[in-house]
């Protein structure tokens, strides 16, 4: 490998063996960075020799990876991705988060950290440009996320687990010190199984840019497109109200999952809409480090306020109309390190199974019990699929591949229905996000009640988003900018020319690699299915809109089209057993 460092990347990975209590730096071949970029892609590539391991095996890697634009002034790029195998779903899993941590990890001279092994006592990994130190922190075991961050923040930016991660709750988060979360799939439980309470990063090295003039022009283009986007900076956009700006829109479209998806309208959703949160909590703009959008909202005291999925699931999904209760649930999940979507969806499935949804006063105690795995929490800690199976009502888990569905009812957006099922990590809205064109009408509107053309649209979007997650940029950027502008930013930063098409090809490689890992672990067409409820029960009707069940035959037909687009067998698997060997 050349001794000349590529700009944009550090070309370095930190490897940490917690069992042996040692760490060392290794070079990353430049061709590997060109082939996988960083973030999600690089993490997926590093999983190649480990994807069959059980998520709680000591040798499963827990990978923190940044992208080539992190550390530069590229908008929304101060992010990182964590990659491993999910204990909740069993799928290969990645999850991204913003905050200062990613910036400081890149500033420590690293593109990635790969953590294996298991410590015999609780430890924190402290990373700086000078090296890495494994510090024993038994006094922090059993402490909340804010307590842990407070204790360690003098050493840098902190990523920590709470009690849920320590107790291996299957949907435990890794929380960033600024309030962001690596929030789905239970990656905090993998961290807890390693006896790793926190990772701290304190780097301040600058990231070089190959062509500063070209980069500045590209950045100005991105910002101009941001400002022109009504979804980002409009009067009712996410910069003003955050993602709860979607509450009223989803109600109008009759797509708000209510009472465990039995209905699709919650009459009292206005209690927790974006304007209601601003009014009742004097919400101020907040966001990831250096981000111009500032989509997150917090109280004047700096307490993070809930986002769309959280308000909808702790609200409508559980039949709760109290904003104060929803905010309290969000705060508790952040302190305990619980994924709000899975936590609320699990409570909802459990509530339907027992014949009564939890009221606002019950939820805090149930969340604490879940994080501690005591009482009813011992069962709830397993997620909705296992809860429903244990109670003999498997059909009540509104999940795909064991991952609880977010707050978009698939009966109201057929592209979303398909995308939930083809997502490699399980029932996720962020792999393709067809809500963009089906509901927000960006970049162009498609018929939300039609499957026509959706297979190809979903595949292209999955490839695009795999590239975006590997840059690592925020998906909200693409309500304004496109992959064309980000390809230009990447080209200017690294000195290597990329086009939108070349980035999509990289994304396709990453997506299919994930799919191959899953297929090798036993996943196939039987796992690419929605819960029966969506095929047999209608959603809510009214105001001139009726939400019928999804046509099972038409869904199956479009899923088969998707497999053909992807070059897969009718069973959703690979014809070529050597697929992986042919990848860089």
Where are the alpha helices (H) located in 37-95, listed in sequence order? 39-46
* Neighbour count for residue 477 (Cβ, 10 Å): 25
Q: What is the reported pLDDT for 289?
A: 83
Helix (H, G, I), strand (E, B) or coil at 165: helix
pLDDT score for 6:
55
| pLDDT per residue of the chain (584 residues) written in tens, 0 to 9 | 333 345 899 999 999 999 999 999 999 999 999 999 999 999 999 999 999 999 999 999 999 999 999 999 999 999 999 999 999 999 999 999 998 999 999 999 999 999 999 999 999 999 999 999 999 999 999 999 999 999 999 999 999 999 999 999 999 999 998 888 999 999 999 999 999 999 999 999 999 999 999 999 999 999 999 999 999 999 989 999 999 999 999 999 999 999 999 999 999 999 999 999 999 999 999 988 889 999 999 999 989 999 999 999 999 999 999 999 999 999 999 999 999 999 999 999 999 999 999 999 999 999 999 999 999 999 999 999 999 999 999 999 999 999 999 999 999 999 999 999 999 999 999 999 999 999 999 888 999 999 999 999 999 999 999 999 999 999 999 999 999 999 999 999 999 999 999 999 999 999 999 999 999 999 999 999 999 999 999 999 988 899 999 999 999 999 999 999 999 999 999 999 999 999 99
Res 387: pLDDT = 98
Is 438 contained in some domain? no
Identify whether 243 is part of a domain. Answer: no
Q: Which two tokens stand for residue 57?
A: 């095996």
Neighbours of 123 (CB within 10 A): 23
Question: Residue 419 and residue 511: Cα distance in Å, rounded?
Answer: 13
pTM more than 0.95: yes
If you write DSSP's letter for every residue of 234-281 in order, what string do you get?
STTSHHHH-GGGHHHHHHHTT---BTTTTBS--TTGGGGSHHHHHHHH
**CATH code of the domain containing 133:** 3.60.9.10
Residue 263, φ and ψ in degrees, nearest 5: -130, 170
The two tokens of residue 389 are: 């199976």
Structure tokens that stand for 418 in this block: 């398909």
Taking CA atoms, 521 is separated from 227, 385, 399, 459, in Å, by 45, 19, 19, 22
pLDDT score recorded for residue 107: 96
CB-based contact 92:431 (threshold 8 Å):
no
- For residue 120, give the 3-state DSSP assignment: coil
- pLDDT at residue 4, as a whole number: 39
SS3 20: coil
Direct distance between the N- and C-terminal alpha carbons of the chain, in angstroms, rounded to an integer: 16
Domain total in the chain: 1
Please check whether residue 149 lies inside any domain of the structure.
Answer: yes
CA 63/CA 541 separation, integer angstroms: 45
Instruction: List helix spans (H) across 99-206.
Output: 100-107, 145-152, 163-166, 187-193
Token pair in block for residue 48: 């190649």
Structure tokens at 39: 């973030």
Whether 76 is covered by a domain: the verdict is yes
In a domain, 326, yes or no: no
360: in domain: no
Q: Is residue 341 part of a domain?
A: no
Q: Structural domain of residue 160, as residue ranges?
A: 12-201
* 492 touches 499 (CB < 8 A): no
Measured CA distances, 188 to 8, 56, 171, 195, 339 (Å)? 29, 11, 8, 11, 9
In a domain, residue 147? The reply is yes
Number of residues written out for the chain = 584
The DSSP annotation for 49-65 comes to TTTTS-TTSTT--EEEE
């Amino acid at each position: 490998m050349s001794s000349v460092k590529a700009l944009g990347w550090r070309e370095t990975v930190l490897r940490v063996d917690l069992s042996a209590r040692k760490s060392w730096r290794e070079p990353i071949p430049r061709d590997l960075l060109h082939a996988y970029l960083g973030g999600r892609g690089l993490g997926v590539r590093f999983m190649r020799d480990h994807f069959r391991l059980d998520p709680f095996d000591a040798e499963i890697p827990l990978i923190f990876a940044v992208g080539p634009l992190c550390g530069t002034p590229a908008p929304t790029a101060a992010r990182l991705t964590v990659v491993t195998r999910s204990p909740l779903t069993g799928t290969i899993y990645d999850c991204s988060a913003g905050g200062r941590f990613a910036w400081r990890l890149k500033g420590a001279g690293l593109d990635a950290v790969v953590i294996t092994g298991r410590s015999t006592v609780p430890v924190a990994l402290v990373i700086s440009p000078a090296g890495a130190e494994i510090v024993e922190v038994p006094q922090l075991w059993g402490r909340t996320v804010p307590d842990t961050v407070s204790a360690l923040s003098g050493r840098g930016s902190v990523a920590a687990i709470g009690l849920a991660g320590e107790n291996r709750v299957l949907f435990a988060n890794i929380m960033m010190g600024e309030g962001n979360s690596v929030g789905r799939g239970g990656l905090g439980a993998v961290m807890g199984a390693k006896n790793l309470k926190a990772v701290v990063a304190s780097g301040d090295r600058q990231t070089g840019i190959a062509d500063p003039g070209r980069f500045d022009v590209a950045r100005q283009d991105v910002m101009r497109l941001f400002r022109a986007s009504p979804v980002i900076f409009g009067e009712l956009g996410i910069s003003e109200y955050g993602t709860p700006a979607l509450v009223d829109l989803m109600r109008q479209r009759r797509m708000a999952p209510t009472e465990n998806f039995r209905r699709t309208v919650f009459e009292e959703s206005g209690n927790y809409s974006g304007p209601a949160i601003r009014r009742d909590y004097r919400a101020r703009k907040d966001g990831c480090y250096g981000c111009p959008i500032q989509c997150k909202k917090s109280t004047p005291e700096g307490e993070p306020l809930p986002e769309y999925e959280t308000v909808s699931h702790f609200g409508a999904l559980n039949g709760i109309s109290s904003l104060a209760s929803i905010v309290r649930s969000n705060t508790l999940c952040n302190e305990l390190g619980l994924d709000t979507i899975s936590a609320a969806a699990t409570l909802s499935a459990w509530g339907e199974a027992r014949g009564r949804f939890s009221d606002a006063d019950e939820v805090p105690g149930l969340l604490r019990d879940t994080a501690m795995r005591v009482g009813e929490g011992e069962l709830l800690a397993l997620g909705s699929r296992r809860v429903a199976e244990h109670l003999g009502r498997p059909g009540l888990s509104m999940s795909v591949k064991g991952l609880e569905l977010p707050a978009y009812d698939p009966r109201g957006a057929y592209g979303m229905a398909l995308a939930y099922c083809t997502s490699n990590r399980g029932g996720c809205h962020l792999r393709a996000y067809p809500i963009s064109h089906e509901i927000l009408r960006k970049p162009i509107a498609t018929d939300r009640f039609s499957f026509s053309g959706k297979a190809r649209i979903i595949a292209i979007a999955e490839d695009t988003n795999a590239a975006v997650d590997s840059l690592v940029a925020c998906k909200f950027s693409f309500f304004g900018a496109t992959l064309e502008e980000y390809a230009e930013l990447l080209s200017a930063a690294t000195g290597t020319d990329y086009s939108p098409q070349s980035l999509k090809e990289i994304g396709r490689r990453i997506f299919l690699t994930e799919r191959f890992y899953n297929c090798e672990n036993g996943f196939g067409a039987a796992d690419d299915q929605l819960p029966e409820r969506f095929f047999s029960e209608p959603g809510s009707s009214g105001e001139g809109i009726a939400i019928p069940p999804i046509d099972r035959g038409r869904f199956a037909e479009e899923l088969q089209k998707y497999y053909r687009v992807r070059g897969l067998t009718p069973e959703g698997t690979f014809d070529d057993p050597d697929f992986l060997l042919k990848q860089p």
